[in-house]
Structure 1
């Protein structure tokens, strides 16, 4: 089994489609690494990863906005294609099994929640807030 893990920022908003009766969320994650080349000059390299998240739980889609930082895990796939001028190209993509929101570039950080695929099912988003220390959680319920 080969697993690919990517931490990066979404390059565009998530698009949700239905294919053969199943929901798929498509988005692109950009990961940028900084390094020094052989002359000592600071350089950057950005790798774009196309992601396909097949799930009936599309509740996370509104949070997958351009600029949001995410952690994505899944099986890598390499697509080859022909460009309009006849050249061959390749693109890295991931069939997502797990995604977690890490934050956003705006001041309204979206963090903490995530979805995971486990044997065909999905777990609910992980809680981003802990219960109050020393208090009874039932006392904080609004009903």
Structure 2
């Protein structure tokens, strides 16, 4: 199995379609990387990934808006085609298995969300019990077995 993971921002609002009785959410994610070329000049390269999320969980669709930062994971698919000028071209697309909202453009993406729309929500409640150490500060009780 080949799997890819992408963190990036949506290039436009998603589209929800119904294909042969199944729902699919289509969106495009832009992943940008900064690097220095051989002359030491700062460069930026953006890779666009077309995503198809086949799911009945379309409740996430209103949140998949242009500029929203997301984490997506799935299987890559490369599509080959002929450009209008006759040259060969290729596009990277992904059959999405998991989508997580990381933040919107308005909040700068600084507050990662816990919105995993493929797996059940994890219990993220913090322990409410605390103990006082010799220094008088409160430390949460760690109830993990390791």
Name the TM-score, length of structure 2 as normaliser: 0.80
**8 Å CA contact 1:104, 1:110 repeated in 2:** no
CA drift of 1:42 comes to: 0.3
Q: What is residue 11 of structure 1 aligned with on the other side? A: 11
User: Aligned equivalents of 1:97 and 1:17: distance in 2?
Assistant: 17
Unaligned runs of 5+ in 1: 117-122, 135-143
Q: What is residue 28 of structure 1 aligned with on the other side? A: 28
Q: What is residue 114 of structure 2 aligned with on the other side? A: 112
User: Deviating runs (4+, > 2 A) in structure 1?
Assistant: 107-111, 123-127, 129-134
Say which one has the larger Rg.
Answer: 2
1:8-35 residue CA offsets vs partner (Å, 9 max, x unmatched)? 0011111000001100000000000000
1:43 equivalenced with 2:38 (yes/no): no
CA drift of 1:133 comes to: 2.7
Question: How many equivalent pairs are there?
Answer: 127
Q: What is residue 66 of structure 1 aligned with on the other side? A: 66
Say if 1:124 and 1:71 are closer, same or farther in 2 by CA, change over 3 A.
Answer: same
Say if 1:18 and 1:51 are closer, same or farther in 2 by CA, change over 3 A.
Answer: same
